[in-house]
Structure 1
Amino acid sequence: MYSKISKNILKNSISILTVIFFITAIFFYIAFISDNKLRVDFSLEQMFPTRDVDRDDYDQFKEVYGREDNVMFITLTNGNIFSDINLSILELLTYNFSEIDHIDYAFSLGSLWDDGDGIIGEELTSNERFKKIKANNIYSNLLSKDNKSSLIVIGIKENIYSHQTRKKILYQIDEIIDSYKFNLESIKSGDVIFTNKNVLSEYSVGNYSALQSIIDDIYQYNKQTNSFGSDLSIRSINDCYNIVNENSSVDIQLTLEDINKNCDNPILISRDLKKSKIILSTNILIDRMFIKNLENIIEENEFVRYSSWEWHEAGLPILRTRYVELVEYERSIFIPLAFLIAALTLIWIFRQIRMLIIALTSIMVSLVWVSGIMSLANISINVISYLTFNLLMIIGVSDAIHLLMKYHEEINKNKNKKETLEIVIEKIGSALFLTSFTTAVGFMSLSITNIRILQEFGVIMGVGIGILFIITIMIMPIMLYYIKIPKAEHIDRLILKRKKSLSFQSLKAVQGYPRVIIICSIFIISLSIYGLTLIDSNVTVLGDLKPTNKLYKDITFVENNFGGTLPLEIIVSPTGIPLSKDLYIKSNTINSIDDSKFYEKINLFMLKLAEFKSIKSVSGYWDIDGDINPQQSKYTNKDRNEIRISCGIENIDSDTADLLKSNIKLIYNDIFENETGLKITGSTLLALKMNRYLIKSLLNSFIIAFIVIFISMNILFRSVKLSLVSIIPNVIPLLFAGGIMGFFGIELRPATAMTFSIALGIAVDDTIHFLSRFRSEFLLTKNHEKSTTTTILTTGRAIIGTSITLGMGFLVLLFSNFKPNYEFGILATIILMIALVSSLILLPALINIIKPLNKSYE
C-alpha cells in the first residue's frame, strides 16, 4: 500500500502542494480572520460534569437562592483601622467598588462610617468604634481575629459567568486601589512633589483631600513646635480649588479648564496630572533639619501611609479569575518556548537549516489545519485545550526526526533521490502510522469522560495527530525532493556508528549484561508498585496552586484571619414537624419554619455546625445566637417551607469533605430524627467531586487506551509473544512514574492522571519504531541478536533524538508556577526517559533471551 502511495506523492507533488496550500489558506482565514475565528474561553464552569446528580442539586439550589459563588473578599491591613482618615478612605474605596459595572453591592467598615455620621462616626473614639463593632455579631465578621485587618465584601451580580467580565472587574478594583496611592516623590528646598494617578481627583484635591490633610498636618506641627518659622505659608492646587468653589453651594471638581480660566498657578500640577506640588515659604533657613522634619510629618500622614497598606483577596470569583489568568500567562510563555526548543533540537540533531525549515513548515501547516477545525467545530482554547499546540508541536518534531533520520540513512545507500524518498515513505510510513494511531488512541480515550472540554481535547488531539501524520508524510518528502541531497559530512555524522554514541553504549549494555538488566527491571517494578500504594488522591480546591503563589498566600491569609471563604450550603426543611395549632390559626402564610420546635432544632443544629474545625462561619435565617437575620429573605424560599444555612469552610481535601458531609448528616439525623429534610450542596463540594470523578474517568480511559494499543501491536506484528514482550518496556515507565508520585508526595490530580494516558501514547512510539525495524531486520537475518544490534545502531539513534526532543519539550514545564503544568512536566519527562532506556536496553535484552519469533515468521 505504502509503495503505491509513495510513488503517487512524488508523481503528483505540485498538485498536492497546491491543494495543501489552498486548504491551509482557507483554514487560516477561518481560524484567525473570520467572524467564527478561534475563541479563547478559560471559564472553569466548563469543567463541571454534564450529567450528575450533585450537579442537578446545585443547579436547583441556584434557581431558588441564586449563586453562592459570586462573593469576593478584599482585606486590608494598616496601623489604625478605626482612625477618621482610614475610615474615610475605606468608605471611598467601598463606594468606588460598588459603582463598578456588574457589582451588586460592596460593604465594609467604611460603610458604617458614613461620612462620619454612621454608627461608628466622628462622635466616637477609635477604641469606642472598635468595641462597638466587636459587640455586634454581624459587623464583627468585618474584623480579623487579631483585629489588625479589615474586610471588604463585594458581591457580583447573579448573571455574570464570563471570565472576561470578572477579569475586567478585578482589573478595575486593582486600578481603584492603586489610584488612592498619594506618594511623596521628592523634597527640594521648599518644593514638595507628590505622585498620584490623578492629582485632580476628589481624593487628591479639595477640603477633605490627601493634599489638604498633609497641609493641615504641616501647619499643626509648626503651631506646636515653630520648626518651620512664624511666617509659614503653603501654596498648592487647593488654592485654585477654593477660588473655583468660593461661591458654590456644592463642591465643584477641578478641571484643567477651571485652572487655566480662574487660577494663575498651573505650575503646581504636571501636565499629565500625575504630579502635584506644594510650595513652602518661610522666614527661616530651609536646611537639612527642616527638610527631615517635613519628610517625617508627610510620611506619618495616613493618606501617604495608605501606600503601605497590605492587601489580600479571596473568594471563588477571584480564585477562578486569577487561576485562569495564570493559565493564560503560562500559555503565552510555554507555546513560544516549545517552538524554540523544537527548532533548537532539530538544528542540534541535523545541523542543517534546510531540514529545520522543512520540519517546521510541516508542523506549522498542521497547526493551522487544527486551528481551523477547532473553529469550525466551535471548540475554544480553554483551560485544557491550550496544551493542544504545545503537544502537537512536540509530536510533530518527533515524526519529522524519524522521517529525516530514515532519509539520511537511505540516501547513504542509494544516491537516487526519488527512489530513496519512495523507500522512506514506504518504510517509515507504516511505523509513523501506527505510532500516530497509538498516540491518538491515548488522547481519544479522554473522550469517554463526562467533562465536555476534556472530550473535545481528546478528539481534537486525535484529529491533530492524524493531520500531523498526513502532512508530514506528504510535505516533507516533496520538499526534500526539490532540494539538494545533504552533504556527505552531515550524512556521515548521523549514520556512522561511533563507539561513544548513546546507541553504541546501549548495545554494549544489552550484549554484556542482559540478565543484570532484567534483574534491575524486576527490582524497579517491585519498588514502583510499593510506591503506587503511597499515592494520595486527596485534592483540594487550591491544590493546583503552589504554596509560593500569591493567590494561594492571599486565600490562606483570609482563611486564617477571617474564616473560611469557600461556600458550603445546607438546606433544611421542617419535615416531621407539624405546624402548631396556634400558628395555623394565626395566619395561613406562616409555615412550619416559624414553629418554635423547628427554631429550637435549627438553633442547636447551627451551634453543632459551628463546632466543626473546618467550618469557619455559619449564617442562616436565624443567626447563631438565635436572633432573626436582617437578611432573612436570602435564607428561605418563596414558599417558606425550607431554610438555607450558609457556611464558610477552609481549604479542605476531598476525603475531609466526604467526612464532613457524613458528620453533618449524622448530627441532622440525631437532632431532627429524620433523613429526608437535608440537602448539602455548594460549588466547593461540586469542584472536589469533579476532581475525583475526573481522576476516575482518566484512569478508565488509560486502561482502555492500553488495551487498544496492545491489540493494535498484536495485529501489526502478528505475534502474541512479541506483543507481550513489548508491553513490559511500556509498563515500567508508567509504574516508575507512579512510584515517584508515591515516594515524593505528588498527588493524583486530573493533570497527573491525564499524564499517563498521554504519555503512554507517546512513549509507546519508541517501542513501535524499534519493533518495526527489528521485524524488518529479522525477516532478512532470521537472527534475534543480529536484528537487535542493527536496530539499536540505526533506529536507536532516531529514538534517542525524539525522546530528547519530547523530554525537553515537557521539561520546560518545570519552570511553571502552575502546579498541574509543573507535575505534568515532571511525570511526562520521567515516563519518556524511562521509556527510552526500556526500549533501547530492556526490550532488546528480553528479545535476545526470550527469542519471541521463530525462523518461519513472515
Structure 2
Amino acid sequence: MSKFLSFGFWNAIARIILRNRVLILALIVGFTVFLGFQWQNMKFSYTEANLLPNDDEINIEYNKFLEKFGEEGSMIVMAVNDSTLFTPEKFIAWNNLANTLEAFEEIEYTLSLGDLQRLQKFEDPARFEMVPLVSIPSPDTLQVQEYRKEIFNRLPFYEGLVYSKKSNTIQTAVYLDKEIVNTEARKDFIVNDLIPLIEEFETVHDINVYTSGMPYIRTLNSQNIIDEIALFIGAALLVTSLIFFFFFRSIRATVISMITVIIGVMWAFGILGLLHFEITVLTAIIPPLIIVIGIPNCIFLINKYQQEIQKHGNQAKSLQRVITKIGNATLMTNLTTALGFATFILTDSNLLSEFGIVASLNIVAIFILSLLIIPIIYSYMSPPREKHLKHLNKRWIEGFVAWMERMVRHRRITIYITSLILLVVSIIGIYTIRISGSLLEDMPQKAAFFKDVIFFEEEFDGVMPLEILIDTKRENGAMKLSNLKRMEELEHLITEQEELSAPLSVVRLVKYAKQAYYNGNPKYFQLPSTQEQNFILPYTRNLSSGENILETYVDSTGQYARMTTFMQDIGTEEMEEIEEELWPKIYKIFPEERYNVTMTGRALIFQKGTNYLVKNLVISLGLAIFLIALFMAWMFRSLRMIFVSLVPNILPLLVTAGLMGYLGVPIKPSTILVFSIAFGISVDDTIHFLAKYRQELKANNWKIKRSVYAALRETGVSMFYTSIVLFFGFSVFMISSFGGTVALGGLVSATLLFAMLSNLLLLPSLLLSLEKNIANKQTLKEPAVNILSEPEEDEDFEEDEKDEFQK
C-alpha cells in the first residue's frame, strides 16, 4: 500500500495524465454522456422513508396490517369552516366538487355532504334501508338548513368523518385508489387535477378550502424536495464561485473549478439513476454536497499550481508537482471523508445505506475529476500572470496566520482553558438534547399545506393515522357483542388522550344501527343490549356510503378488527409516554392469552425508526472515528498519534451537540448526520497539518517547535480557504424550507468552523506540549504514506513534458 502511494507511483500517474490528455478528456466526456442517459432512471420517493429494517418486528406487523386492510394512508380531506356553505348555491357547489372528483379513475369514492346516507327503519315489512340524506338535487334555503341541523344534531356517526362540532367545520373525505397511493400517478392527480379544482372552487365561491391527508402532504413535500434540488445546486455554485473568485481573483480558475464540480453533479445524478435509488430528502442533498466538497479539492490543486509557477515559472514541472504532491494529499483527505459517509452503509436502514453508497462513490468521483480536469485544462493554457498570483501574498491572510502563531506560541494555557470550558459547557448542553420522531417537524412550516395541517389538528385532532389491529383469534369474533364492548372501552381510553382523535371502528357502525332502530333518535347512538343484538347487528352489513364501510373496519373473516385514530404532530418521547400509559390498560381489556393487539401505521413506524436510526448512527459515528483513528495510526506509524489527531476533531462535535441542546434542536434523522459528515470532513485538516508537520520535522532535523510553526504557516492558508468555502457552502442549505435541512446546514457549518480553529490552535498546541512523549522522532517513525514528500528528481519528466506542451 505504501508503495502504491509513494512518489514513484504518483510520478507515473502524472506522466499518464499529462501524456494522454485528449484520451482522458474523451473518456470523461463519454462517461458523462453515459451517466447522463441514466438520469431517466432517477425516481422520486412517494412515501415516507422507512427507517426500520425490512425484517424488523414493527415492519412485519405493519405488512400484516396492509395485507388485511390495504394502504392506510389513502385519504385526502378537504374542509370548509364557513357558515355561507349552507346556502343553496355553495351547498350544491360543494357536493358537485365531490362528484367531479369521484369521477376520476384515481378515486375509489368520496364521502361528502351529498354522499351521506342515513339508516332508516321501515315497516311492512320490517326492515332497515340506507336512504340518501340529501334527497333533493337542488334544495332551497330552508331544506339546506334542515340538512345542516340533521348532520350536526342527529348523526353522531359522521362526527370526525364529515363534520367537527368544535366550530361546525365540514369536510369531504376523498379516498384514493390504494394501487396508486405510493406511485407517481398520485402526484400527477393531486398536482394536475385536485389542486386546480380546489383553487377554482375557492375563486368562484369565495370560500377558503383547507386540504390535508397523508397522500396530499407527501406529494407536496416531495415536490418541495424536487424544487429545492435546483435551488441548492444553483446557490452552492453561486456562493462557492464567488468565494473562490474572491480568494484567487481569477476568472479562468473559477470557471475551471465550476466546470469540474458541475460534471461532478452530473455524475451524482447519473449514479443515482444507474443504481435505481430513489431521490429522498437525504439523497437530494448529495449534488450540492459534491459542489461544497469538490471546491476545496480545486483550491488545493490550483493553489499549489500557482505556488509552483511563482516559485520557478516552469509550467510542466508545476503541473507534475500538483499531481504528485497534492494528488496524494487530496486522495487521503477524500478517502477519509468518503469513509465517514461509507459507515452509513453498515446500518440496516435502506435510506441511510443508499445515502452512504452514493455519497462515498461521488466523493471519490469528484476527487478523480479534480485530479484529471484541472491539470489537463491548465496544460492547454498559458501560465498564470502576475495578477493571478497576487492572492498568494495577501496581508490579511498573513495577519491571520501570524495571530494563530502568536496564540500557539504564547497563549497555549488560554487555548487549553478555553477548550476545557467549551467541553464542560457542551456536556451540560448535551444532557438537554431531546429525540424527535415527528413526521411533520422537518416539513416546510411556511408552506400553505403545513398551515392546513395545523388547522386539521385543531379541528379533528390530527391527520396522521395510527392504526390499532385487534386479533380476536376467532372467526367472526370481531362482531361479537362482548368484543364490541371491549373495543368501546378501548375507544374511551384513546379519546382521553389529548394527542389522539376519537377512533373510527366497527363500534360506530353498530351504534348507528341501534340509533336507526329507534327511529334515528341520537340518544340511542350506543351499543345494543344482549336482547337487541340479534336483530340489530345483521343490519350493519348494509351500512354503506358508496362502499361497504364494514369491510373498512373488519376483515373478510371477521377475526380482525381495525381501529383508526389520528394523532397530532407529537415527538418520539410524547408517543412513548402515551404507549407506556395505554398498553397496561389495553392488556387489561384484551388479555394477551385471548387477544393479540398491535399498534401500527406509517407515523408510528417513522417514530420507531427514528429511535432505531439514532442508535445506529451513534454506532456508525463511533465506527467512523475508530476506522479513521486506525487510518491515522497506520499513516503515521504511531498509535500515540491517535490521541493527538482525534482530540481536535471530537471537541467540535461535542461543542455542536451542546449547541443543539441549548438551541433546542432535537436529534432526528437529518441532524444526526451532522456529526458523521462534519467529522469526515474536519479530519482532512488534521491530515494536512500532521503530514506537513512530519515533513518539516525531517527537514528541520527533528526540531519540534520550528516544525510546528512552519507547518502552521504552510497549511494555515489552505485550511482557512477550504474551511471558509465549506462554511459558506454548507450554509447554503439554510435557505431550505425544510427545518431538518436548515439545521443540517447550520450545524455542519458551525462544526467545521470550530474544527478549523481546533486544528489550527489546539492541534499545534498539543504537539508542542506533548513533544517529549508523542511528537518526537521515536514516535513519528517513517510514515506509511509520504503525503507531502518532495520529489527527489523530476527534471527528466519536466523536459519531456515541455515538448508535449509546445506541440
Q: TM-score range by the shorter chain?
A: 0.7 to 0.9
Match status 1:693 vs 2:612: yes
Q: Is residue 232–residue 733 contact of structure 2 (8 Å, CA) maintained in 1?
A: yes
Once structures 1 and 2 are overlaid, which stretch shifts more, 716-725 or 736-745? 716-725
- Per the TM alignment, residue 832 of structure 1 is displaced from its structure 2 partner at its CA by 0.6
- Per the TM alignment, residue 835 of structure 1 is displaced from its structure 2 partner at its CA by 0.6
- Per the TM alignment, residue 66 of structure 1 is displaced from its structure 2 partner at its CA by 1.4
Choose from 238, 251, 257 the match for 1:359.
Answer: 257
- Per the TM alignment, residue 519 of structure 1 is displaced from its structure 2 partner at its CA by 0.7
Distance, in Å, in 2 between the alignment partners of 1:46 and 1:649 is 19
Q: Which runs of 5+ in 1 are unaligned?
A: 183-303, 579-589
Match status 1:74 vs 2:66: no
Match status 1:155 vs 2:53: no
Q: Match for residue 454 of structure 1? A: 352
- Per the TM alignment, residue 391 of structure 1 is displaced from its structure 2 partner at its CA by 0.9
Choose from 154, 157, 167 the match for 2:187.
Answer: 167
Q: Match for residue 790 of structure 1? A: 710
Q: Is residue 74–residue 314 contact of structure 1 (8 Å, CA) maintained in 2?
A: yes
Distance, in Å, in 2 between the alignment partners of 1:180 and 1:601 is 44
Query: What SS does structure 1 have at the residue aligned with 2:43?
Result: coil
User: Which letter maps to 2:45?
Assistant: F
Q: Is residue 163–residue 321 contact of structure 1 (8 Å, CA) maintained in 2?
A: no
For residues 529-551 of structure 1, give each alpha carbon's deviation from its aligned partner in whole angstroms, at most 9, with x where no partner exists: 11111100132121113544433
- Per the TM alignment, residue 500 of structure 1 is displaced from its structure 2 partner at its CA by 5.7
User: Which letter maps to 1:145?
Assistant: K
Match status 1:854 vs 2:772: no
Q: CA separation of 1:18/1:420 partners in 2, compared to 1, >3 Å: closer, same or farther? A: closer
- Per the TM alignment, residue 616 of structure 1 is displaced from its structure 2 partner at its CA by 0.9
**Counterparts in 2 of 1:100-115, with a 5 A limit?**
100-112=104-116
- Per the TM alignment, residue 86 of structure 1 is displaced from its structure 2 partner at its CA by 1.5
For residues 393-422 of structure 1, give each alpha carbon's deviation from its aligned partner in whole angstroms, at most 9, with x where no partner exists: 111101111122222233333332222333
Q: Is residue 27–residue 372 contact of structure 1 (8 Å, CA) maintained in 2?
A: no
Distance, in Å, in 2 between the alignment partners of 1:818 and 1:831 is 20
Match status 1:25 vs 2:45: no
Choose from 765, 776, 793 the match for 1:845.
Answer: 765
- Per the TM alignment, residue 497 of structure 1 is displaced from its structure 2 partner at its CA by 6.1
Q: Match for residue 7 of structure 2? A: 3
Q: Is residue 622–residue 632 contact of structure 1 (8 Å, CA) maintained in 2?
A: no
Choose from 49, 58, 65 the match for 2:62.
Answer: 58
Q: Is residue 54–residue 681 contact of structure 1 (8 Å, CA) maintained in 2?
A: yes
User: Which letter maps to 1:389?
Assistant: P
Once structures 1 and 2 are overlaid, which stretch shifts more, 796-805 or 565-574? 565-574
Query: What SS does structure 1 have at the residue aligned with 2:501?
Result: strand
Distance, in Å, in 2 between the alignment partners of 1:431 and 1:61 is 54
- Per the TM alignment, residue 38 of structure 1 is displaced from its structure 2 partner at its CA by 4.2
Q: Match for residue 531 of structure 2? A: none
User: Which letter maps to 1:708?
Assistant: L
Choose from 502, 505, 508 the match for 1:617.
Answer: 502
Choose from 584, 592, 606 the match for 1:674.
Answer: 592
Distance, in Å, in 2 between the alignment partners of 1:642 and 1:594 is 10
- Per the TM alignment, residue 67 of structure 1 is displaced from its structure 2 partner at its CA by 1.6
Q: Is residue 106–residue 152 contact of structure 1 (8 Å, CA) maintained in 2?
A: yes
Q: Is residue 437–residue 608 contact of structure 2 (8 Å, CA) maintained in 1?
A: no
- Per the TM alignment, residue 729 of structure 1 is displaced from its structure 2 partner at its CA by 1.0
Distance, in Å, in 1 between the alignment partners of 2:186 and 2:482 is 43
Choose from 113, 129, 147 the match for 1:129.
Answer: 147
- Per the TM alignment, residue 10 of structure 1 is displaced from its structure 2 partner at its CA by 4.4
Match status 1:821 vs 2:706: no
User: Which letter maps to 1:854?
Assistant: N
Q: CA separation of 1:153/1:376 partners in 2, compared to 1, >3 Å: closer, same or farther? A: same
Q: Match for residue 417 of structure 2? A: 519
Distance, in Å, in 2 between the alignment partners of 1:31 and 1:473 is 20
Query: What SS does structure 2 have at the residue aligned with 1:356?
Result: helix
Distance, in Å, in 2 between the alignment partners of 1:773 and 1:786 is 12
Q: Match for residue 248 of structure 1? A: none
Distance, in Å, in 2 between the alignment partners of 1:596 and 1:375 is 55
Choose from 712, 721, 724 the match for 1:801.
Answer: 721
Match status 1:722 vs 2:644: no
- TM normalised by structure 2 equals 0.85
Distance, in Å, in 2 between the alignment partners of 1:30 and 1:410 is 36
Q: Match for residue 125 of structure 2? A: none
Distance, in Å, in 1 between the alignment partners of 2:170 and 2:296 is 55
Q: Is residue 466–residue 565 contact of structure 2 (8 Å, CA) maintained in 1?
A: yes
Give me the CA root mean square deviation.
2.5
Q: CA separation of 1:84/1:140 partners in 2, compared to 1, >3 Å: closer, same or farther? A: farther
Q: CA separation of 1:810/1:794 partners in 2, compared to 1, >3 Å: closer, same or farther? A: same
Distance, in Å, in 2 between the alignment partners of 1:15 and 1:418 is 11
Q: CA separation of 1:120/1:664 partners in 2, compared to 1, >3 Å: closer, same or farther? A: farther
Q: Is residue 729–residue 843 contact of structure 1 (8 Å, CA) maintained in 2?
A: yes
Query: What SS does structure 2 have at the residue aligned with 1:640?
Result: coil
Distance, in Å, in 2 between the alignment partners of 1:385 and 1:145 is 43
For residues 582-619 of structure 1, give each alpha carbon's deviation from its aligned partner in whole angstroms, at most 9, with x where no partner exists: xxxxxxxx733343332332332323332222221212
Q: Match for residue 179 of structure 1? A: 200
Q: CA separation of 1:54/1:426 partners in 2, compared to 1, >3 Å: closer, same or farther? A: same
Choose from 30, 35, 40 the match for 1:37.
Answer: 40
Query: What SS does structure 2 have at the residue aligned with 1:75?
Result: strand
Q: CA separation of 1:680/1:499 partners in 2, compared to 1, >3 Å: closer, same or farther? A: closer
Q: CA separation of 1:19/1:368 partners in 2, compared to 1, >3 Å: closer, same or farther? A: farther
- Per the TM alignment, residue 457 of structure 1 is displaced from its structure 2 partner at its CA by 1.7
Choose from 636, 651, 663 the match for 1:744.
Answer: 663
Q: Match for residue 491 of structure 2? A: 606
Once structures 1 and 2 are overlaid, which stretch shifts more, 349-358 or 387-396? 349-358
Q: Is residue 98–residue 104 contact of structure 1 (8 Å, CA) maintained in 2?
A: yes
Q: Is residue 592–residue 641 contact of structure 1 (8 Å, CA) maintained in 2?
A: yes
User: Which letter maps to 2:159?
Assistant: S
Q: Match for residue 193 of structure 1? A: none
- Indicate the structure (1 or 2) with the bigger Cα radius of gyration: 1
- Per the TM alignment, residue 148 of structure 1 is displaced from its structure 2 partner at its CA by 4.3
Q: Is residue 88–residue 115 contact of structure 1 (8 Å, CA) maintained in 2?
A: no
Q: CA separation of 1:519/1:147 partners in 2, compared to 1, >3 Å: closer, same or farther? A: closer
Distance, in Å, in 1 between the alignment partners of 2:235 and 2:172 is 40
Match status 1:561 vs 2:459: yes
Distance, in Å, in 2 between the alignment partners of 1:431 and 1:77 is 64
Distance, in Å, in 2 between the alignment partners of 1:567 and 1:499 is 57
Query: What SS does structure 2 have at the residue aligned with 1:617?
Result: coil
Distance, in Å, in 2 between the alignment partners of 1:112 and 1:122 is 18
- TM normalised by structure 1 equals 0.80
Match status 1:98 vs 2:102: yes
Distance, in Å, in 2 between the alignment partners of 1:407 and 1:811 is 28
**Counterparts in 2 of 1:327-476, with a 5 A limit?**
327-476=225-374
Distance, in Å, in 2 between the alignment partners of 1:127 and 1:40 is 49
Q: Is residue 102–residue 110 contact of structure 2 (8 Å, CA) maintained in 1?
A: yes
For residues 82-111 of structure 1, give each alpha carbon's deviation from its aligned partner in whole angstroms, at most 9, with x where no partner exists: 211121110111111212331111222243
Distance, in Å, in 2 between the alignment partners of 1:180 and 1:843 is 65
Q: CA separation of 1:109/1:402 partners in 2, compared to 1, >3 Å: closer, same or farther? A: same
For residues 232-274 of structure 1, give each alpha carbon's deviation from its aligned partner in whole angstroms, at most 9, with x where no partner exists: xxxxxxxxxxxxxxxxxxxxxxxxxxxxxxxxxxxxxxxxxxx
Distance, in Å, in 2 between the alignment partners of 1:356 and 1:371 is 23
Query: What SS does structure 1 have at the residue aligned with 2:108?
Result: strand
- Per the TM alignment, residue 136 of structure 1 is displaced from its structure 2 partner at its CA by 0.5
- Per the TM alignment, residue 5 of structure 1 is displaced from its structure 2 partner at its CA by 4.1
Q: CA separation of 1:494/1:616 partners in 2, compared to 1, >3 Å: closer, same or farther? A: same
Q: Match for residue 653 of structure 2? A: 734
- Per the TM alignment, residue 837 of structure 1 is displaced from its structure 2 partner at its CA by 0.6
Query: What SS does structure 1 have at the residue aligned with 2:40?
Result: coil
Once structures 1 and 2 are overlaid, which stretch shifts more, 484-493 or 514-523? 484-493
Distance, in Å, in 2 between the alignment partners of 1:15 and 1:452 is 43
Q: Match for residue 626 of structure 1? A: 527
Distance, in Å, in 1 between the alignment partners of 2:485 and 2:40 is 59
Query: What SS does structure 1 have at the residue aligned with 2:83?
Result: coil
User: Which letter maps to 1:637?
Assistant: D
Distance, in Å, in 2 between the alignment partners of 1:37 and 1:667 is 52
Match status 1:139 vs 2:154: no
Q: CA separation of 1:562/1:120 partners in 2, compared to 1, >3 Å: closer, same or farther? A: farther
**Counterparts in 2 of 1:476-487, with a 5 A limit?**
476-487=374-385
